[in-house]
Amino acid sequence: MFFSHIKYYTKAVKFEYICEHCGKESGLQTAEFRIGATSDLKGWNLSEKADRKLTEDAQKSVVKNMAKYRKDVEEKQKFCDFFPNECPHCGKKQRWGKGNTKRNQLIFTLVCAGAGMAASLFLNKADGFNLALMIFCAAIGFFIGICAGPIIFICKQAAFPPKLEHVPVVHWPEDVDALSGSKNT
């Protein structure tokens, strides 16, 4: 009988930044990359050789993925979810993190719903107040906001990427330096 065995490996990366809200240095922060390797082997227990190979595969996978993330960080200033982006002093999220997109989409959706309600008031002016028309126009605006919001924000970020002033300085491990061909900054 075959069993799926999983081995996880975690590697830490140190980084620091200046908060764009309070202006204080974050100090050395830690981002942990945790990735697993799987293997389908016969038997419940792993042999020592299979366990060692699974551990090596997990380590190689972490380093390979970190090299990919490093490329995104250095070329596109795109930070993955592994990097915590809340300031330790004021608690506010940084723009380089991934936390603000959902809030902006919600605001856009509510603005579209409000625009639908405003349009219904304009339409109601001609033939008197009609609550059903107002609810219908608000629902259409809400639906447009839900459908168009993500598309607009994706296109906006692709066309006009934000200019980040306080980008974190990441201290990559040496094995990631060797794989990516870059020197640590």
Model-level pTM?
A: 0.57
Instruction: Tell me what the pLDDT averaged over the chain comes to.
Output: 76
What is residue 185's predicted lDDT score, i.e. its pLDDT?
47
pLDDT tens, residue by residue, 146-171: 777 777 767 766 665 656 667 888 88
The Cα 150–Cα 82 span in angstroms is 23
pLDDT tens, residue by residue, 52-91: 888 888 888 888 888 888 888 888 777 777 788 888 999 8
Considering only residues 178 and 153, tell me which one the structure prediction assigns the higher pLDDT: 153
pLDDT tens, residue by residue, 23-35: 899 899 988 888 8
- Name the strands in the sheet holding 29-42, side by side, starting at the edge strand that comes first in the sequence: 29-42, 2-16, 169-171
What is residue 41's predicted lDDT score, i.e. its pLDDT?
66
Spacing of C-alpha 132 from chain mean position: 40
Residue pair 21/92 in contact by the 8 Å Cβ criterion: yes
Per domain, the residue ranges of the chain are 2-93+165-180, 101-159
DSSP letter string over 110-176? HHHHHHHHHHHHHHHHHH---HHHHHHHHHHHHHHHHHHHHHHHHHHHHHS----SSPPEEE--HHH
Average pLDDT over residues 117-135: 70
Residue pair 85/96 in contact by the 8 Å Cβ criterion: yes
Average pLDDT over residues 102-127: 71
